[in-house]
Amino acid sequence: MTMTPETVLTNFAGKRVLITGGLGFIGSNLARRLVEHEVTVTLVDSLVPEYGGNLFNIADFKDRVQVNISDVRDEHSMRHLVQGQDYLFNLAGQTSHLDSMQDPYTDLEINCRAQLSILETCRKYNPQIQLVFASTRQLYGKPDYLPVDEKHLLRPVDVNGINKMAGEWYHILYNNVYGIRACALRLTNTYGPRMRIKDARQTFLGVWIRRLLEGRPFEVWDGTQKRDFTYVDDAVDALLMAVVSDDANGKIFNLGGEPVVNLTELATQLIAVNGGGDFEARDFPAERKRIDIGDYFADYRLIQDTLGWRPRVPLSEGLARTLIYFRENLNHYL
Amino acid sequence: MTMTPETVLTNFAGKRVLITGGLGFIGSNLARRLVEHEVTVTLVDSLVPEYGGNLFNIADFKDRVQVNISDVRDEHSMRHLVQGQDYLFNLAGQTSHLDSMQDPYTDLEINCRAQLSILETCRKYNPQIQLVFASTRQLYGKPDYLPVDEKHLLRPVDVNGINKMAGEWYHILYNNVYGIRACALRLTNTYGPRMRIKDARQTFLGVWIRRLLEGRPFEVWDGTQKRDFTYVDDAVDALLMAVVSDDANGKIFNLGGEPVVNLTELATQLIAVNGGGDFEARDFPAERKRIDIGDYFADYRLIQDTLGWRPRVPLSEGLARTLIYFRENLNHYL
């Protein structure tokens, strides 16, 4: 089967899809894509204020999806919702580094225990389901070499990274042992319309955009660190292609983006695309320096070779689309 | 500092030591060594019947240690016990593959949540403590190459392996971020006096020994798989050397043993040392075959080069000592 981001959607016609974290950044962009193709979409979201859920994300298509406000830690709710679904996009998670260090137990409950519980529910009540899990490049920690491929050792630098590592591996394990078809994508900095920009809980780029659009300078720490960025439409392509393909079962794939830039270059480019603005170069705050990972960018050839995915939206284009979106809708994200 | 298994004990004179899982196989052997050297030793153990705790393990020195029956999941108990300790040997854990698959939540509570809680307690109430965590070679899953060194990817094959992986990394993280001095040893098949032989929950070798001493044949599945075995006195050496050395902080070390043998060779040797007995060669049960890892043996040069540890008790000698112990004390272990 040759699969492209355009043809992959034909797999979903008439199907039932569950998205955890469905009111969040990536979940809502994914849902938006699916509802165009006669898919029955259910969104689960806790709307915990510190996380990414935002009802405005689906405001213009809310009548075409089912919305269920509940927490993935709620086993009974999940047991009901998982039944009868063809596909599960498992995107709900605690993503904040700082929150995970200040309250490691909540991070554990969401990123470990709830994941185990979702998989147990699939095993018991819907073993035919196909899942994809949103993992993160943060598991790698400070790279030994660049670009980082999936053979790189995992050395997480915060509680969040450790718990996400466990959550990812539960998915691989349930695929390998119980035949619950699951795979994981290690997302790098994903950005685009509907991201959380209120603060840096999803990515530092969120708070940069907020301050830029509010006419205030944003802070660039150090600035020499190289990073890659995935535009959300590309991440959605990858999720769709991964969840339907049996070639993905039990596999873990890096996502990536082009071009790789350092943070000063990113800041400069963001300001250029915006047509104005300022940033302030700062030293790393001491408590962040300890867990600084230096440069990171991904080798994404495995998903390219296995599923035919590649990032299609270059950074300049993605930043432009993001700024257009938030310039129009800023007040819904503050 | 040149450190040998003999000289390392001088570090503990007058010190206070806490051992979680202290009534278990390795914990009780460790305690036995320490009480010879004027160390104040406290043993914490839950005595959960499925785990390794056994009061008989310390019967002949029980007046020289403090015994506290409580569970590492009991945060209040641990908070009290951790205070004032110089060293913490963190050995308590759920070790059974099958139990972790049948009840993944209990495994999570013990091997993840309780570990996090112990480390939080150290951070808040005793940041000067030094810890060593008993991890396992099971994190590696099926090896890509042999012998397996610490650079090998982790690919756990059961819930227990995933949770132990998280537990190990919490220790490394608290060392790196908070300066709580901690390291981890990845134990391979550890055996010796006071091991659990009632069933295969600790290692298959336990149930082999039981059946041999009961005069019944034991089962060898497949038999071609190569393994290494660490005699418990060698494991105790490694724990002692790792906990006192600042060169170990934040590090993960494999243990190993000599010689590497396949399971048929091990069975033959065990019977020879015993002076009689039988085994039955069997095919792998289907549900175990799926998670069979094939051959495994460790490259332990990192701990050898860093701390000067090496296994000193060869397999034949260790098996002989083990059989002598259990022949005398069999009824206390059934």
- pLDDT single digits (tens) B175-216: 999 999 999 999 999 999 999 999 888 889 999 999 999 999
B20 CA: distance to closest CA in chain A (Å) = 21
> In this structure, is the dihedral angle defined by the CA atoms of residues A134, A136, A137 and A141, taken in order, positive or negative?
negative
Mean pLDDT (chain A, rounded): 95
Encoded tokens for B326 = 């259990």
CA distance B187 to B194: 17
Kindly state which CATH superfamily the domain B7-192+230-257+298-312 is placed in.
NAD(P)-binding Rossmann-like Domain (3.40.50.720)
Look up residue B12 and give its DSSP letter: G
Q: If contacts are CB pairs under 8 Å, which of residues 142-201 in chain B contact chain A?
A: 151, 153-159, 162-163, 165-166, 169-170, 172-173, 176-177
pLDDT for the residue numbered A290: 73
Please report the pLDDT score of residue B3 as a whole number.
84
ipTM of the complex: 0.93
Sign of the CA dihedral running A134, A137, A138, A141? positive
Write the DSSP assignment of B230-264 as a string of letters: EEHHHHHHHHHHHHH-GGGTT-EEE---SS-EEHH
| Shortest Cα distance, chain B CAs vs residue A65, angstroms | 33
pLDDT of amino acid B242: 98
Q: What is the mean pLDDT of chain B?
A: 95
Contact B228, B188 (CB under 8 A): yes
Domain ranges in chain B are 7-192+230-257+298-312
Position A30 scores a pLDDT of 98
The architecture of the domain spanning A7-191+229-256+298-312 is 3-Layer(aba) Sandwich (3.40)
What's the pLDDT at B159?
96
Chain A residues with CB-CB distance to B162 below 8 A? 166, 169-170, 173
Percent of chain A with pLDDT strictly greater than 90: 89
Percentage of residues in chain B having pLDDT higher than 70:
99
Looking at residue B126, its pLDDT comes to 98
Nearest to B154 among A105, A112, A154 (CB): A154
Interface size, chain A vs chain B, as Cβ–Cβ contacts under 8 Å: 73
CB contact under 8 A, A162 and B166: yes
Could you tell me which residues come within 8 angstroms of residue A257 by beta carbon, excluding any fewer than 6 positions away?
A: A188, A189, A228, A229, A230, A231, A234, A311, A315
Interval B8-25: pLDDT, tens = 999 999 999 999 999 999
Q: Of A63-67, A199-203, B39-43, which gets the smallest average pLDDT?
A: A199-203
